[in-house]
Structure 1
């Protein structure tokens, strides 16, 4: 079989073994050239799509076990994908496990917990929990895979009140490199439990989670849109405002060049806008008072802030749902001042060589506190997280990379590290992943990795190399 690539295709020599693997799993096993291969390997991110030697479409934990055992026996690295919103560098070769078919969800309303499988999205989790007056600690985009989001930390809509989603993981089902399916808790495997919560996919393929839910039926939230001509004024005022709000208020502000398309409301089409997003866990009257200083910043192009059922919380950020090619990175920062705001706008705004999407998320509150059971999530002392993102095409890729690099360099004096879930694709390098952790925690992660994955087969991810590996293969 010709791959059309320089990378040798190991499946040529594995024909009989692949047949045995197909007999062990209930989902599809696909090779390059198979009719369903392209659809199976492609997620939300369409820039740098995985090109594995074979794909196992898992439907259950036993399928994952069979795939990992096969990969370990044949020296194939393993990648994992649910929805593909925040992928690691694209795999070229190896084995890709897709989990999108694993969608079981069980809610225990008395214990206020949810158990769910690896392919469940935040939307599915919300839909299962809200009939009981409960809510998960999901992020801004309901279509994101809940497992990878939570394992990477999980910076959600209620984060300043409840902390990182990883802080509320109670139990983890994971297939480790030895092919064992383990039920991991703080009591059963304290080191592995600590590492998985924040270590994302580098220590195994997680097949399910048990997590806390919170008693939330409604919140006061939505978005305020201002014209980009007010950007510097609005961003500086927003940063001052974040110093006055209670932990029940989680918010962000985004600078967004919107396309001129019919899907957008006429006041927003084709504009560079400032989008303030708020989610307040309190009564609407108090929410109105808290948001009033933001509304006073200037005439709003649109205002969707209101009391809303938690089931509609995805409308606050209103993130795009269609797959797209994009690159992005981020910086966790100690602070942001007026001088840096001016620099950010000069480097990424409408007059810059490349206009970028920039989002600043307000941290602090419960995010800055240690969880009841310690985990690996780092940079808890950061006050803000600034992320930059662009859709890309071959003719603007180099210029976009350069624009992002200039921005990250400008932020270096106030940067504490990176947020793992916002390191996309080619930016999820070993050095950038290291910056998502406190140095002592990163060393501990590498030591635990050496115990559970000494051969580093789970390296096609936001990779944390075992302590005995000197370079990334």
Structure 2
């Protein structure tokens, strides 16, 4: 179903390359949209283009700070008329490819949330973050399938699949989407459901970056009000034993328990709390939807590893679930990559720990997520659903050579290559479009069959490759025309 179509602009075909921006056309754009239109040098330009990822920032020729879905339509139509590629940013957590030139649509002003308690659904605008949805749903005894950080944007997270703290119990966030409002490359505003356009709707849920701009999304909520969860933290001398115990333990736990283990070698710097400075720690994070008594029984094998640096497992309201992972809330520079694995043995995990631990040339945060359960089934385009683990590596980049970081990550990922299926697009952070293996990274997000399906949809819905600033967009390239 078509919502609206700005035919006065969409009848102008793109040139395929950016031309000088016409002042009269810019003035018309300013009059058409509700939010600000910013050019380099304008007050607010730098703030608007900046996000959580500070190592890579967009450098657009023009920014539209969208306040309404009609602003997005007008912005895409303007970009199409002037041959400008389009990037989209809400919070900038997962920025992987920055635009240099082009048009940036900032959606942070689109912040509406509406909960339908009877239907157990939430409808959110493009700039909403998960903390807003958690707060809106809690009074009704409901919860979204959010990730570990309340400051992450709902839409981009969900388009990439969405591996949340309840993922083994309820599956990917993408599998619970009911409808999507999408602005396509030709500036049509569509309301998509499984019935209106099954093929495009399915593709958005796990492969949606690069197919348009989502202005709103409706998804199911789950009846969860509390969790048993928190962290078990072990010091460096017990890390090998803790990792081995964790791998054995994941073979036995029920789907109601979602967990991960993180390895962090904290630098000895005054900015850190004294108990963390210079320590190498293993943090096992737990989120269990069963009773606290059953949770205590389930974690007993982990506690048997030995004394903990800390142990805060407890029953908590779902609104406190962000305290399980304690993700940083301040913007910073980082690079991250991941591998989805069919399995893993303790010897390989110890080798990864040795490469990335206190003796590593640069700091690496290692996280191993236990997958499976409800994530193994679903109808969306999420790639590699048969993965049992996700190995994630993330390094701060302030004062660090990005090439050295990538080389260290590559060495660690080589250890787990025998089990590797590909990558999750949700955990690709920072500068991947500039890598020499960017095409391989993009293809690794889906298997060959899904890649071909998404490529065909990309060619149909975005033949000019307007939406190109994301690994998933690169994963669905527009086929080159045949040459006689």
TM-score, scaled to structure 1: 0.94
Partner of 1:112: 120
Work out which of the residue numbers 460, 463, 468 in structure 1 matches 2:479: 468
Q: SS at 2:134's partner residue? A: helix
For residue 407 of structure 1, report the CA deviation from its aligned partner: 1.4
1:329 aligns with 2:337: yes
For residue 262 of structure 1, report the CA deviation from its aligned partner: 6.9
Q: Structure 2: how far apart are the matches of 1:199 and 1:271?
A: 39
For residue 186 of structure 1, report the CA deviation from its aligned partner: 0.7
Partner of 1:316: 324
Conserved? CA contact 2:362–2:395, under 8 Å: no
Partner of 1:6: none
**Cα RMSD, aligned residues only:** 1.7
| Equivalent residues, number | 460
Partner of 1:413: 418
Work out which of the residue numbers 381, 384, 391 in structure 2 matches 1:379: 384
Aligned pair in 2 of structure 1 residues 162, 76: CA closer, same or farther (>3 Å)? same
1:23 aligns with 2:31: yes
Partner of 1:442: 451
Q: SS at 1:345's partner residue? A: helix
Q: SS at 1:279's partner residue? A: strand
Q: Structure 2: how far apart are the matches of 1:80 and 1:202?
A: 10
Conserved? CA contact 1:223–1:304, under 8 Å: yes
Partner of 2:464: 455
For residue 377 of structure 1, report the CA deviation from its aligned partner: 0.4
For residue 165 of structure 1, report the CA deviation from its aligned partner: 0.4
Q: SS at 2:431's partner residue? A: helix
Structure 1 segment 339-350 matched on structure 2, within 5 A: 339-350=347-358
1:431 aligns with 2:440: yes
Partner of 1:391: 396
Q: SS at 1:154's partner residue? A: coil
Aligned pair in 2 of structure 1 residues 229, 204: CA closer, same or farther (>3 Å)? same
Greater Cα offset, 138-147 or 419-428: 419-428
Work out which of the residue numbers 47, 58, 62 in structure 1 matches 2:66: 58
Q: Structure 2: how far apart are the matches of 1:414 and 1:254?
A: 19
Aligned pair in 2 of structure 1 residues 84, 160: CA closer, same or farther (>3 Å)? same
Q: Structure 2: how far apart are the matches of 1:123 and 1:396?
A: 33
Structure 1 segment 66-465 matched on structure 2, within 5 A: 66-260=74-268, 266-369=274-377, 371=378, 374-427=379-432, 429-462=438-471, 463=473, 464-465=475-476
Conserved? CA contact 2:55–2:333, under 8 Å: yes
Q: SS at 1:131's partner residue? A: helix
Q: Structure 1: how far apart are the matches of 2:190 and 2:20?
A: 32
Conserved? CA contact 2:247–2:346, under 8 Å: no
Partner of 2:13: none
Q: SS at 1:436's partner residue? A: coil
Conserved? CA contact 2:146–2:164, under 8 Å: yes
Q: SS at 2:369's partner residue? A: strand
Partner of 1:38: 46
* Runs of at least 4 residues off by over 4 Å: 9-12, 259-265
Which stretches in structure 2 are left out of the alignment for 5+ residues? 1-16
Q: SS at 1:150's partner residue? A: helix
Conserved? CA contact 2:134–2:319, under 8 Å: yes
Greater Cα offset, 10-19 or 337-346: 10-19
Conserved? CA contact 1:268–1:301, under 8 Å: no
Q: Structure 1: how far apart are the matches of 2:476 and 2:22?
A: 27
Q: Structure 2: how far apart are the matches of 1:104 and 1:79?
A: 21
Conserved? CA contact 2:180–2:192, under 8 Å: yes
Aligned pair in 2 of structure 1 residues 286, 395: CA closer, same or farther (>3 Å)? closer
Q: Deviations over 1:200-248 (max 9, x none)?
A: 3210000010000000000100111111222211111101100110000
Q: Structure 2: how far apart are the matches of 1:319 and 1:21?
A: 38
Conserved? CA contact 1:456–1:465, under 8 Å: no
Partner of 1:5: none
Partner of 2:8: none
Aligned pair in 2 of structure 1 residues 441, 34: CA closer, same or farther (>3 Å)? same
Q: Deviations over 1:263-299 (max 9, x none)?
A: 7554333322111100001110000111121122122
Q: Structure 1: how far apart are the matches of 2:196 and 2:131?
A: 30
Q: SS at 1:34's partner residue? A: coil
For residue 147 of structure 1, report the CA deviation from its aligned partner: 0.8
Q: Structure 1: how far apart are the matches of 2:279 and 2:95?
A: 29
